[in-house]
Amino acid sequence: MDIFQFLTNTLGAALILGFLSLIFYRENIWSRWAEYSVVGGIVAYNTVVTIWTLVDYVVNPLMAGDLMVIPPVILGLLVYFQFSRKYRWIIGFPLAVMSTIGLAISLAGVPLANFIVMIRETAIPLTSGTALDIANAVTMAVAVVTVVSYFTFTREHTGVLGASAKLARYFMMLAFGAGVGMQLLSVCTSLQAVLQFLLRDWLGLL
Amino acid sequence: MAWYRSIYPLLVIAWAIVFIILFSYYCPGTSFDIAYSILVRWSIIMGSVVIAVGLINITINSVREVKKRAPGRWHLAIWQLLLIAITLISGFAQGKGSPTTPGTIINWLFSNFYRYGDLAIFALMGFWMLTAAFRAFRARNLETFLFVFGAFFTLLRNAPIGGLIWRGFPVIGQWLLSVPYIAVQRALLIGIGVGILTYAARYFIGKEKAAFGRVE
Amino acid sequence: MAFAQKNIRRIIYILCAISLVITFFLPLNLPIAISDETRKFYDTLESLEGTGKAVLVIFTIPPAFWGEMYHTMFSALQHIFLLKDVKLVLVPVFAAPGVGLVNSLLRELYNPLNKTYGVDYVMLQFIPSMVGPALAAMADNFRATFQTDIRGTPIDKLPIMENINTLDDFGVVIFACPAKEHPSLAVVLYPRYPKMTYLAICMAGGYMFIAPYLGNVYKAGLWGITMAAEYQQLFGGPYTAARQQCDGISLYHILGLLMLVLGNIIGFREIVKKKGGS
């Protein structure tokens, strides 16, 4: 490893060690330096990449005569009025357009993706397969129905609904425990990558 | 309050957009399809144009910290502003492909600096989750016992060594992930779907003023 | 004892770090069993060999999750590059840093495997918006959504894009994102193209977002480094970093189990003490 590469890696290592000092020790100037560096840098990088895409989405079509790119640019620029106390109300218009497009696109697909597919996949396995498959399918169907009932707040959870909600809690705790196990796999992989960088790329011990 | 500052013109816009999109979606092959395409493209362009809002916010906060000479922070705020300036100048001066082309300043900063910070922030959870396993994941009743049970067998399923200790561990862990876990996620998705529909109903009758930037 | 109690979290942190790195110095070479899900993902891609079809990989990967996503992305892209007569089209969405990260990954792959940009693989222009509208734009009119590739070359000048006009022209669509963006594909893309074959790549922690869709929307998924290591074994790839890391992952998980059990024993003793005292 040459000296320039070592110094380059030292920069990355300094950031990582700054964050590690936060948890091994406590908040200090080094960890705060790391925070400020990452926050400012990543936001600036995102801004550069995204602004350059405007060349493809706005400048080139405009030069080709497509004037339909002008209204979204104007609407997007209106968002910057949020920094003005007097004209802040103007941002309502671009927000109305952006939020509604996103919400409407989701609304269109929710009946199929969130309802029909889920109910179909819960119901169909009840009718076919081995005894074990059907037992699993029944367990799944009971879990789905009870958990949906748990999130029904229009009635007090007493009687049948109360029993159903209690069973739902058991299923949910089982699932959340499994979720924690999966999350642990994610975070340990990332942590290992960080430690690997420190030991291999920076210190050359691996 | 003037009518143009109220929520009503925004609701008219929202209703028009949702009508176009839903009509084009459920009844394709009409002239609404062109309007739908235009709206989707507008969404992408607007998303690009508003990207600098976050950067402006950070810059304003940093300048404020420098002006106030916030103890322990104002030097770092100057450093942050310097980094932002270097990134922006090198990113725009070195051309369109510079953020991803090796050899440019902005690419060098990202590949050797920024990305490790972002990675480290998430990786810290690797430490915290183990201490949480020790301190917080304690079985005090049936529900918390089931939580610990689920975590226990999933850990043994995920680790390759689990199958070597006992063949049953991955089987139980896999069952947990295939049956109760998926069932609960399905139920949550159904609940999320109901939530989206409820939110949409409130949105389109003007109850969600914050979504329109009309915060009281 | 007082020192241990006062610094228990630091002791756990140090043990955690040791468990993850010690196997780099003392490898255990634990065998890894290949799961059905990994095999399904592999077989789906393998079925494309010789068809001349292209694989569309839509990705949004922030740097925070690259440590894990790298392995699954590497495995999948390497497999696609190894398949005969299969092309690769990549589309970056939403997370800008993902472009640089996947570019650096491609640099590791295309040279050893003799792949030519624009002919065998291409990365189209970045779509900066949220995932939902980006997928909607692709579903609506794939060709019109992209005027150029990521380098600025007009799309009509790329040989790989000759016969690609709509999403139907792809053999498989892979959606690679860490977690919560996966339902967007189910909500936006799947209703418009229900017959398309979709595959998911995500983090292990993001499994909750793809689990309900596996087997219906998504034909198969790849999550976590252990699945990446399994995948590498299937096509005998020379890359074994994922496999090497799995030893440390195993030790970390054993440590996690120990912490869980120890914590519960201590908790149980405290409950017994309290009940005995009262």
Q: Taking Cα atoms as reference points, which of C38, C45, C34, C35 lies closest to residue C198?
A: C45
The Cα–Cα gap between A188 and A112 comes to 36
A103, A149, A195, A202: best to mutate for the B interface, most B CBs within 10 A:
A103
Give the separation between CA A64 and CA A106, rounded to whole angstroms.
Answer: 32
Interface-testing mutation among C21, C74, C146, with chain A (most A C-beta atoms within 10 A): C21
Of C32, C39, C95, C64, the residue nearest C221 (C-alpha): C39
Residue B114 and residue C63 in contact, taking contact as beta carbons nearer than 8 Å: yes
Q: Please provide residue C54's backbone torsions phi and psi, each rounded to the nearest 5 degrees.
A: -110, 150
- Closest partner residue to C225 (CB to CB) among A56, A121, A189 is A189
Residues of C in contact with B115 (CB under 8 A): 63, 66, 97, 100-101
Which tokens is A67 given? 């004037």
Contact flag C245-A114 (C-beta cutoff 8 Å): no
| Mutate: best of A75, A185, A196, partner C, most C CBs <10 A | A185
What is the domain partition of chain B in residue ranges? 52-123, 125-185
Specify the amino acid at residue C76: A
B-C contacts (CB, under 8 Å): 165
| pLDDT above 70 as % of chain A | 100
Give residue C250's pLDDT band: very low, low, confident or very high (50, 70, 90): very high
User: Does residue B101 carry a pLDDT above 80?
Assistant: yes
| Domains along the sequence of chain C with CATH | 50-235 (3.40.50.10160)
Q: Is the pLDDT of residue C60 over 70?
A: yes
CB contact under 8 A, B129 and C256: yes
H/E stretch holding B147: helix B142-158
Sole residue written with tokens 């796999």: A185
Q: Is the pLDDT of residue B55 over 70?
A: yes
Please state, rounded to an integer, the average pLDDT across all residues of chain B.
91
Contact C204, A183 (CB under 8 A): yes
Q: Is the model's pLDDT at B175 over the cut of 90? A: yes
Beta strand C197-202 pairing with C218-223 = parallel
Distance from the B104 Cα atom to the nearest Cα atom in chain A, whole angstroms: 13
Q: Which residue of C has its CA nearest to B122?
A: C64
Q: Which residues of C touch B139 (CB under 8 A)?
A: 264, 267-268
Chain B CB contacts of A148 under 8 Å are 187, 190-191
| pLDDT confidence tier of residue C196, bands split at 50, 70 and 90 | very high
C-chain residue closest to A58, CA distance = C147
Q: Is the pLDDT of residue C240 over 80?
A: no
- Please report, to the nearest 10 degrees, the dihedral formed by the alpha carbons of residues B154, B156, B159, B160 taken in order: -130
> Is the CB of C62 less than 8 angstroms away from the CB of B121?
no
**Of A48, B94, A60, the residue nearest C146 (C-alpha):** A60
Rounded to a whole number of angstroms, the CA Rg of chain C reads 22
Whether residue C238 is predicted with pLDDT greater than 60 in this model: the reply is: no
Mean pLDDT of B90-100: 88
In the predicted model, is pLDDT for residue B216 greater than 60?
no
pTM: 0.92
Query: Measured between CA atoms, how close is B59 to chain A, in angstroms?
Result: 8
Q: In the 8-state DSSP scheme, what is residue B208?
A: -
Nearest residue to A75 via CA among A59, A93, A89: A93
Search chain B and give the residue with CA nearest C102.
B100
CA distances (Å), origin C27, targets B111, B158, C226, C234: 29, 19, 16, 21
CA distance B4 to chain C (A): 28
Residue B170: list chain C partners with CB under 8 A. Answer: 33
Rounded distance, CA A168 to CA A146, Å? 5
| Cα of A170 vs its chain's centroid, Å | 27
Distance CA C196, CA C170 (A): 8
Angstrom CA distances, A66 to A94, B40, C150, C252, stand at 21, 16, 21, 57
Long-range contacts of B69-76 (CB under 8 A, 24+ apart): B72/A29, B72/A32, B73/A32, B76/A29, B76/A32, B76/A33, B76/A36
Confidence of residue B215 (pLDDT cuts 50, 70, 90): low
Mutate: best of C260, C268, C275, partner B, most B CBs <10 A: C260
Give yes or no for a contact between C131 and C97, defined as CB atoms under 8 angstroms apart: no
Name every chain C residue with its beta carbon within 8 A of the beta carbon of A184.
Answer: 252-253, 256
For B98-120, what is the mean pLDDT?
A: 90
Q: Chain C: nearest CA to B81, how far in angstroms? A: 20
Helices A3-24 + C8-25 axis angle, to 10:
150
Q: What is the mean pLDDT of residues A103-119?
A: 91
What mean pLDDT do residues C230-240 have? 77
Name the pLDDT band for C278 (thresholds 50, 70, 90).
Answer: low
Provide CB contacts within 8 A for C166, sequence distance 6+: C141, C142, C143
- C-alpha distance from B69 to closest chain A C-alpha (Å): 15
- The tens digit of pLDDT for each residue in A112-163 reads 889 999 999 999 888 888 999 999 999 999 999 999 999 988 888 889 999 9
Do residues B87 and A44 make contact, with C-beta atoms less than 8 angstroms apart?
yes
CA-to-CA distance for B70 and B80, rounded, in angstroms?
A: 14
With beta carbons under 8 A apart, name residues in chain C contacting B48.
128-129
pLDDT of residue C1: 75
Q: Is the pLDDT of residue C249 over 60?
A: yes
Across the interface, of C32, C66, C209, the residue whose CB is closest to B119 is C66
**CA–CA separation, B193 and A115 (whole Å):** 7
Helix residue ranges, H only, chain A: 3-24, 29-54, 60-63, 70-78, 92-110, 117-123, 131-150, 159-196
Q: Select from A170, A48, C194 the least CA-distant residue to B52.
A: A48
Distance CA B125, CA C67 (A): 13
In angstroms, the CA A142 to CA A168 distance is: 9
pLDDT of residue A140: 95
pLDDT of residue C195 exceeding 70? yes
Do C17 and A195 lie within an 8 Å CB cutoff? Answer: yes
Nearest-neighbour CA in chain C from A178: distance (Å)? 10
Residues of B in contact with A106 (CB under 8 A): 196
Residues of A with Cβ-Cβ distance to B146 under 8 angstroms: 170, 173-174, 177
ipTM, two decimals, is 0.90
**C104 contacts in chain B (CB < 8 Å):** 111
Mark yes or no for CB contact C134/B162 under 8 Å: no
Summarize pLDDT for A47-71 with one digit per residue, the tens.
999 999 888 889 989 999 999 999 9
Say how far apart CA C240 and CA B183 lie, in whole Å.
35
Mean pLDDT, residues B95-121 taken together: 90
Query: H or E segment at B199?
Result: helix B180-204
3-state secondary structure chain C: CHHHHHCHHHHHHHHHHHHHHHHHHCCCCCCCCCCHHHHHHHHHHHCCCCCCCEEEEEECCCHHHHHHHHHHHHHHHHHHHHCCCCEEEEEEECCCHHHHHHHHHHHHHHCCCCCCECCCEEEECCECCCHHHHHHHHHHCHHHHCCEECCCCEHHHCHHHCCCCCHHHEEEEEEECCCCCHHHHHHHHHHHCCCCEEEEEECHHHHHHHHHHECCCEEEEEEHHHHHHHHHHHCCCCCCHHHHHHHHHHHHHHHHHHHHHHHHHHHHHHHHHHHHHC
**Nearest-CA distance A119 → chain B (Å):** 8
User: What is the rounded average pLDDT of the residues B148-156?
Assistant: 95
Are A170 and B146 a contacting pair at CB < 8 A? yes
